[in-house]
Structure 1
Amino acid sequence: MLTLDELDNRIVCVLQENARLTNSEIAKTVGSTEPTVRRRVERLLSAGAIKIVAVATPFQLGYRVIAILGLQIDHQHLTQVEEALIAMPEVRFAGVTLGSYDVIAEVWFEDNEQLLAFLHERLSKIPGVQRIESLQVAKMLKYMYDWSAPPDF
């Protein structure tokens, strides 16, 4: 596991806000030098601590239906369910949970017909899926992808 210090945290926060900044611009923002920032970013990337990607905003991209799915499964089929969810491009997030559901997933679709087809024709046919509860997001209140508040610098 990689340990991050204060400078690493600042660099990550800046990248989360705008990953298109140059290392020189990041260095000015965090109060460091370009070579230090370059080495730190390379170390974070190499260790798999961060990835530089574009974050999609589903409603802006035409996905009008976002649903949170709660799945109850037969635990003998847990691995099979996990592998099936990972392979489905509609599933944007999936996690094994503790509590009322065994797995929670977030899915995106262009319309309700696609969601229904996914639920009835694909998801419910995965061996081990016993129950699915679908909660459709009517209004997105907050959509965060960062892991900390930007530091004051």
Structure 2
Amino acid sequence: MTLDALDRRILRALQRDGRMANVELAREVGLSPSPCLRRVRLLEEAGVIERYAAVVDGGKVGLGLTVFARVWFRGQDAESTAGFIAAIQDLPQIVECHLMVGDCDALLRIVVADLDAYWRFQADRLTRIANVRNVKTDVPMATVKRAGEIPV
């Protein structure tokens, strides 16, 4: 799908507020409501808009610690990697997983209550995944930017 300037304005507005009413969105991007809704539906059908979600403050729901874990695999063949990917799908503490090129094989963003909860998660779950050889964890001191938007 080729995006024009209007599509990009729609995407920027919806990234800021995914609950924005169509009438408000149409007014913001300079369209009438019907064509605006058609464009949004086309963006959804094309997979440009994957889903809508609420951004939750982890600290207010008892998940105040975010850590980044670098993971090294025992083997890098397709079957081993697929096994790792399948195993982490059942671990809700892992909120992001990126397979990497470079020093480590995967980079995980993990949310837990505190350091003790992370230690238990790493010892009881993460390092017990069949293909995991090593895990190194980085604990951020502060989050200074957390954007849920990409620059379209």
Q: TM-score, normalised by structure 2?
A: 0.91
Q: Which amino acid aligns with 1:126?
A: I
Deviation at 1:64, TM superposition (A): 1.8
2:141, 2:4 → 1: CA distance? 39
1:111 paired residue number: 114
Are 1:67 and 1:108, in contact at CA under 8 Å, matched by a contact in 2? yes
1:5-24 C-alpha deviation (Å, 9 max, x unpaired): 11111001111111222111
**Is 2:22 the counterpart of 1:13?**
no
2:140 paired residue number: 137
Query: Per the alignment, in what secondary structure is the counterpart of residue 99 of structure 1?
Result: coil
Q: Which amino acid aligns with 1:61?
A: V
Query: Per the alignment, in what secondary structure is the counterpart of residue 75 of structure 1?
Result: coil
Q: TM-score, normalised by structure 1?
A: 0.90
Query: Per the alignment, in what secondary structure is the counterpart of residue 25 of structure 1?
Result: helix
1:36-86 C-alpha deviation (Å, 9 max, x unpaired): 110011111222211221122323433221100100102131111111112
1:86 paired residue number: 89
Among all aligned residue pairs of Structure 1 and Structure 2, give the percentage whose two residues are the same amino acid: 24
Which ranges in structure 1 are unaligned for 5 or more consecutive residues? none
Which ranges in structure 2 are unaligned for 5 or more consecutive residues? none
Are 1:86 and 1:94, in contact at CA under 8 Å, matched by a contact in 2? no
1:61 paired residue number: 61
| Structure 1 segments (4+ residues) deviating >4 Å | none
2:38 paired residue number: 39
